[in-house]
């Protein structure tokens, strides 16, 4: 059975801090790993990672994949209150583009 585990489950930081969110996966026929941000209802797409060791970056957010260790991290530098959300990680199985999600990490950024 496909499994995605995220840690920590929740995190409270002060504005300006740097955070690292973790995602480990066991997914058959692995194709890619995706990160989403969920603020209220709809998860919004952040990154898709397919190759090991290549960092994807968007502003203050970055992510990297380790296919040998079946692991990915999402980094957020200089956090802002607008970064407060649940961050979801999902493994994609290649057969029919099926996503298996983790339970998410709830990040709260305080002033």
Partner 1 sequence: EAGVAQSPRYKIIEKRQSVAFWCNPISGHATLYWYQQILGQGPKLLIQFQNNGVVDDSQLPKDRFSAERLKGVDSTLKIQPAKLEDSAVYLCASSLGTHTDTQYFGPGTRLTVL
Interface residues toward partner 1, by CB under 8 A:
4, 31-32, 34, 36, 40-45, 48, 88, 90, 92, 94, 96-104
Nearer to partner 1, 90 or 109 (CB): 90
Check: CB of residue 50 under 8 Å from CB of residue 32: yes
Closest CA to 109 of 31, 9, 19: 19
Min. distance of Cβ 52 from partner 1 in angstroms? Answer: 16
Torsion angle (degrees, nearest 10) of CA 78, 85, 75, 13: 50
Nearer to partner 1, 58 or 111 (CB): 58
Min. distance of Cβ 78 from partner 1 in angstroms? Answer: 26
Nearer to partner 1, 104 or 107 (CB): 104
Q: Is 6 exposed, middle or buried (0-12, 13-18, 19+ CB in 10 A)?
A: buried
Min. distance of Cβ 89 from partner 1 in angstroms? Answer: 8
Min. distance of Cβ 102 from partner 1 in angstroms? Answer: 5
Check: CB of residue 19 under 8 Å from CB of residue 11: yes
């Amino acid at each position: 059975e496909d499994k995605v585990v995220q840690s920590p489950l929740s995190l409270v930081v002060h504005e300006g801090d740097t955070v690292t969110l973790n995602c480990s996966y066991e997914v058959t026929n692995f194709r890619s790993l995706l990160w989403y941000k969920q603020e209220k209802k709809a998860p919004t797409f952040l990154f898709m990672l397919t190759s090991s060791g290549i960092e994807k970056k968007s502003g203050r957010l970055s992510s990297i994949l380790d296919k040998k260790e079946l692991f990915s991290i999402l980094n957020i530098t200089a956090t802002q209150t607008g970064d407060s959300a649940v961050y979801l990680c999902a493994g994609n199985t290649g057969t029919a583009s099926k996503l298996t999600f983790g339970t998410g990490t709830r990040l709260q950024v305080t002033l």
